[in-house]
Structure formats: C-alpha cells, structure tokens
Chains A and B, each alone.
Chain A
Amino acid sequence: MVHLSSLLLKKYHGGYVVIRLALAGHKQANRPFYRIVAAYNKRARDGKYIEQLGSYDPLPNIYNEKLVSFNFDRIKYWIGCGAHPTKPVAKLLGLAGFFPLHPMMITEAERRRALTELTATGAEDGLQEGQNVA
C-alpha cells in the first residue's frame, strides 16, 4: 500500500515538502532566531508552515553555546513522507550526528583553518617588520 501522505501532498499543491530554516521574530532587527520547519516548497520563507520541528539560535549564549533543538521523531516521519532537507538543515543534522557529515562543512572547516593560518603568518610577518623598523 503506497504511503498516502506523499500522494496527497503532491496532488494538493503540485509542490513538495521541505525541511528548512524559517526566520522567527521578524520584528526584531539584528537578533536572528530560526525555526526548523516542514513547509511546502513554494511558500514564503517565514509564511505558513505545516509543522515546527525544532529551533536554531545562531548567536552563542553566555556559555558560548549555539542551541539547536530537533524533534527527531517527527523529522523521521517527514523524511519518510518524502521531504527534502535544505543545505543548512542538512549541515546541522550532520553536525548532530543524525545525518552523515555534509561535504560543505568539511570544506568550510578547511577554508577556515587556511584563513587562520594566513592571518597567523601575516601577524608574524607584521611583527617582524615592526621589529626591523624599530
């Protein structure tokens, strides 16, 4: 018996369900807070969603943590219904250990490490030059 929910979704909207980050509290400037949400593909980013599956706070708190919550039970259900996670959601789930690691995460980490090395060597060069001048 075919799972009826994906069939209904297709017929109803002609689109598909995605699991993505929607910006919440959009009346506050400079304080982002995302809801992890199952919504139709064509809906507005912050518009009506089907179900909220979690939250993500990109600004670290006093303990230097970024809080992410997932309702794994419902995420499993929606993925079972044929929902597609977007890239940031896939990255977060990869960090959590639920999905395998996203290749872009690894690339990002490598790029960051290269950048820090550059700045470190740049600072050293600057120091040396300063010493030479003085």
Chain B
Amino acid sequence: MAALGTARCLFRTYSRVKNVQKSKQILVRCSVRTLCSGTQDNALLDRTKPQFTDPAVQDILTRITGLDLQKVFRPIKQELKPPTYKLMTDEQLAQAVELATEQAKKLLQMPPVLPERKPINDVLSEDKILDGMDTAKYVFTDITYNIPHRERFIVVREPNGTLRKAKWEERDRLIQVYFPKDGRKLSAPLIFKEENLKMVFSQDRHEDVLDLCLVQFEPDSSDYIRVHAATYEDLDKHGKYELLRSTRHFGGMAWYLLSARRVDGLIVDMLKKELLHDAVSLVSLFHMVHPHSESAQEAASQQATGADLLKIYAQKESQRAGYIELALQAYQQMAAKSSAA
C-alpha cells in the first residue's frame, strides 16, 4: 500500500518537475538584470599617471607618515580594564616593541583614495500601464548573503510605473538597513554639515572627524570626498600638520596637497621639525606625480639628490621660496653645529 502511494507520488512529482523546469527557464529569462561595471575608465587613467595605489607611491607616503608609537597607542575611549603589568628582560622588551610596531603598521593602513562615483541613472523598464498604482515608491533589495555589496540588486518601482536602479545614497541607506555595519548611522550625523565642521576644526579635532567620516561614508561617495577636502584645506590654512602626523590620514592629506600642488606649507613644517629625509621624499614624490613641471625636468636633467632637490624645487615651483631656503639654511647650520659639537 505504502509502496503504491510512493509510486503514485513519484509519478506526480516527475510531471511537476518537468513543468517546473520549463517555468524555471521562463523565470531565468524574466530576471534579466546586469550591473554595468565602470572599471574600464579607471584602467585607462592608471596607465598615464602614477595613482594612489602604486607601490612606490605608497612606500613614500608610509615613510613620511612616521611611526610615533606613543601617539598611535595613546589611550582611546575603551571599556575600563585594570592595567596588566609584566616583568620582562631586555630581550623580551625588544620583542614586545617589535610586535607593537607590527600592530602599529596595521593600524596605520591608509584608507583608499578613489575618484568620485558616477551617479546611477539606469531605467530597467517603463510600464505606463502601472501608472498611478500607488502613492509610495517600492524599493526591492536582494538579501542573498554571499554577494558583495557593490553587486547587489536594489531597484525602485516609482508610482508612475518606471522600474529603475536605486541611486547611490538609497543603496547605502538600504544596505545599512539590511546589513548593518558597526558605527554607521542611517542618516549622516549633523557633524558633517559645513558650520559644524568649522566648529570642530577650531577645537583641533580633525582626526576624530576623519575617523567618523571613514566609518560613515563609502570611500568614493561625494560626502566623503567633500569632508576630506574641507579637513585638508583647513589643516593647510592653519599649518596644523602635526595633528595628523602619525595617523592613517597623513598619506591621504599628502596626496591631496600633491594633486593640488600646494605642498609648500608641508615642506616648511617638515624642515622646521628637522625631517630632511621626509621633505626630500615628498619632493621626489611630487616629481613622480607631476613629471611635466619645470622643477621635475630640472631635477631629472641634473640628477640631483638630497638638499639640492629641495633647492631646485624652492627656486622653480614654490610660492614661498624664501621660506624654504631660509629653513634649509637654518637646518644646515643646525646640522653643522651638532656635528661640530
């Protein structure tokens, strides 16, 4: 009896399976949605000028960021734990310092600098028959777990019947709704408005603003780029490069100033702090990024190194040539005195 029943079920399911396969094919044809990839433009740009992600560029930027252990591991707001004391020999202390430098290097990883993302304006279908079906839009998100967030399907059905892809801001908001990330809010915190940014800068808290911005926005969103640009401009205006010196944002700031060709303030600051090597590497990076400028061609022809590079740059490119030459002279006097004494 049971065997008969099973056999009957098998028969029925077989026929259903055949129909299901046919309907599956129809479904596969219906769900036609491909996201266009805008990576081809980036590939073209990469070949012409050195980009932020080049290993040589990254190397120089990490060197000028510096590695001040005291500042990297300074106390941040954490849960209160009683401190642990360990008794170590000198060797063990050296090993612990090495481990600490490794961790500091990981903490100092630079956040990516990407060009601003282009807005999405794709319309998938225009159904005039659905016009006036509802007063609100319908937003459909695909919550399959194993797809990267960039490739998720998020579409919007407007009340007039058009089915379009969601814009970048809607995408960010919905991905935060369904896959919440630590520290990110659904609507941007009020600190990122212009007036509030000015107040925060007057309190010298650029680093906190940049950390918040990194958590809240995607690296290629317009808000991220706007906040970063405002921060770097303010730092440049007041010459407060020391605030970012041993943090992960220093490389980004250096890159922004290089692209805008306003590295004078930074070089002066470095010379005042007697970091000649950093200044030299910064100028060489400038020549790498802008190979057609006068100072780059001059330096290439003379094969200059060290302080000569700085002199060439001071003569050719900078607006504050006097400052840089004065600072160079002062540094050389200091070096001479210290070597004599």
Contacts and interface: CB of A to CB of B under 8 A. Distances in A.
B129 A10 contact: no
Interface residues of A, number: 40
Given A54-B143, A72-B31, A105 B130 contact: yes
A79 B20 contact: yes
Given A71-B143, A112-B133, A66 B178 contact: no
B142 A66 contact: no
Nearest to B12: A10
A96 B157 contact: yes
Interface in A45-88: 54, 60, 63-74, 76, 79-80, 82
A116 interface: yes
A100 interface: yes
B136 A66 contact: yes
Contact of B13 (A3, A68, A96, A98): A3
Nearest to A109: B133
Given A7-B9, A113-B131, A95 B140 contact: yes
Contact of A69 (B12, B31, B143, B156): B143
A2 interface: yes
B141 interface: yes
Contact of B138 (A65, A80, A113): A65
Contacts of B135: 60, 64
B227 interface: no
A100 B141 CA distance: 18
Interface string B157-179: 10001010000001000100110
B125 interface: yes
Contact of B132 (A69, A92, A97, A112): A112
A73 B133 contact: no
Interface string A95-124: 111111100011011101100100000000
A41 interface: no
B30 interface: yes
A27 interface: no
Contacts of B35: none
Interface of A: 2-3, 6-7, 10-11, 54, 60, 63-74, 76, 79-80, 82, 92, 95-101, 105-106, 108-110, 112-113, 116
Interface of B: 6, 9-10, 12-14, 16-17, 20, 23-24, 27, 30-31, 33, 124-125, 127, 129-145, 153, 155-157, 161, 163, 170, 174, 177-178
21 contacts: A3-B13, A7-B10, A11-B6, A11-B9, A63-B170, A65-B139, A68-B140, A69-B142, A69-B143, A71-B143, A80-B20, A95-B130, A96-B138, A97-B33, A97-B140, A97-B163, A98-B27, A99-B30, A105-B130, A109-B161, A113-B131
Given A10-B12, A71-B142, A109-B132, 15 more contacts: A3-B17, A6-B16, A10-B9, A11-B9, A64-B135, A66-B134, A66-B136, A67-B141, A82-B16, A96-B140, A98-B31, A108-B133, A109-B133, A109-B161, A116-B132
